[in-house]
């Protein structure tokens, strides 16, 4: 007697260009794109995912580097964390380089990509608060050579989604030529996922401070009022001197309270306390935000 075990058909294609990859996804609608495979293969190994076919993005050279365009950098989605952590990239976008250097152990940073970090969109992914603070935009490739642009924050908030068969091709990031900081708190020493992270960028041309807090909510949080308040205190023309330490400290508290607010008072006016673990997280965010601003202004 012959038995036939049911087996999923496995196919893998390795296109050489972004448009070929999109065409491969159209031809194989059940296929899943894979870049570095650090997230995807972990899911496969855990038995959570069994893709019928794979479209590998690793041979697409056009998305493995970056180019300059109208005061922006157009970053290929295939840039690895290791590449973004190097000094030449750090001179360009320091906060993204710092986040890349913090993104897991070396073997993960060597394979894991910017596009994979965005598409998998885990709250603890380190590039996400940086891209939120930079107000970066995705260039999404679709069938027939189509390209459309979507703010990263829209994708992370679920306001706009990747459509079936589309790929993240590039990430458009403004070049601000000013200090930027990324800081991450973890539960242990050595490479680990963030319990909280803060990205802070200065934008002298717009006299703006932009800050995003990662890992504490499903998507990075922007404390807009705290940003505007501190931007109004900064001496952008170099006439008034440095920000006083009390203001830097108050910014940290402002950011933390905006992201982790006190509970609403009870109907009888009683103010409930946050649970100790949440209070600890709020203190962590305050410290990260204070340090990030202090370093950016030093």
The binding site for ligand FAD (CB under 6 A) comprises: 32-40, 42, 57, 77, 103-104, 108, 111-113, 115-117, 119-120, 125-126, 162, 167-168, 193
Give min distance, CB of 58 to ligand FAD, in A: 9
Q: What SS3 state is found at 180?
A: strand
Choice between 131 and 281, CB closer to ligand FAD: 131
Choice between 97 and 258, CB closer to ligand FAD: 97
Residues 285 and 260: beta-carbon distance below 8 Å: yes
- DSSP string of 264-289? PPPTTSPPPPPPHHHHHHHHHHHHHH
Choice between 116 and 174, CB closer to ligand FAD: 116
Choice between 76 and 174, CB closer to ligand FAD: 76
Give min distance, CB of 169 to ligand FAD, in A: 7
Give min distance, CB of 252 to ligand FAD, in A: 23
Q: Under 8 Å CB-to-CB from 134, ≥6 apart: which residues?
A: 93, 95, 96, 173, 174, 176, 180, 199, 201, 210
Give min distance, CB of 155 to ligand FAD, in A: 10
d(C-alpha 106, C-alpha 89), whole Å: 17
Cα–Cα nearest to 200, from 216, 222, 218, 185 = 222
Give min distance, CB of 31 to ligand FAD, in A: 9
Whose CB is nearest to ligand FAD?
116
d(C-alpha 138, C-alpha 172), whole Å: 6
Choice between 84 and 202, CB closer to ligand FAD: 84
Residues 221 and 212: beta-carbon distance below 8 Å: yes
């Amino acid at each position: 007697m012959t038995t036939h075990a049911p087996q999923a058909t496995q196919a893998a294609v390795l296109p050489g260009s972004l448009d070929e990859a999109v065409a491969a996804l159209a031809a194989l609608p059940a296929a899943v794109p894979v870049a570095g495979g650090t997230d995807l293969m972990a899911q496969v190994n855990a038995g959570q995912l069994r893709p019928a076919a794979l479209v590998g993005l690793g041979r697409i050279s056009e998305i493995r580097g970056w180019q300059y365009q109208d005061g922006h950098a157009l970053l290929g989605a295939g840039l690895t964390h290791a590449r973004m952590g190097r000094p030449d990239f750090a001179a360009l976008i320091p906060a993204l380089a710092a986040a890349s250097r913090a993104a897991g152990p070396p073997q993960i940073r060597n394979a894991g990509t910017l596009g994979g970090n965005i598409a998998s969109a885990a709250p603890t992914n380190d590039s996400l608060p940086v891209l939120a603070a930079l107000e970066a935009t995705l260039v999404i490739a679709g069938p027939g050579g189509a390209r459309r642009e979507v703010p990263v924050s829209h994708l992370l908030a679920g306001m706009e989604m990747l459509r079936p068969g589309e790929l993240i091709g590039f990430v458009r990031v403004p070049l601000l030529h000013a200090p930027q900081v990324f800081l991450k708190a973890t539960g242990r020493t050595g490479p680990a996922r963030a319990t909280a992270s803060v990205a802070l960028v200065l934008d002298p041309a717009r006299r703006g401070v932009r800050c995003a807090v990662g890992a504490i909510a499903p998507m990075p949080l922007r404390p807009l009022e705290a940003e505007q308040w501190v931007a109004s205190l900064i001496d952008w023309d170099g006439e008034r001197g440095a920000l006083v330490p009390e203001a830097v400290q108050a910014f940290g508290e402002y950011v933390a309270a905006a992201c982790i607010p006190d509970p609403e008072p009870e109907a009888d006016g009683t103010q409930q306390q946050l649970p100790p673990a949440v209070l600890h997280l709020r203190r962590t965010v305050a410290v990260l935000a204070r340090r990030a601003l202090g370093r950016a202004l030093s």
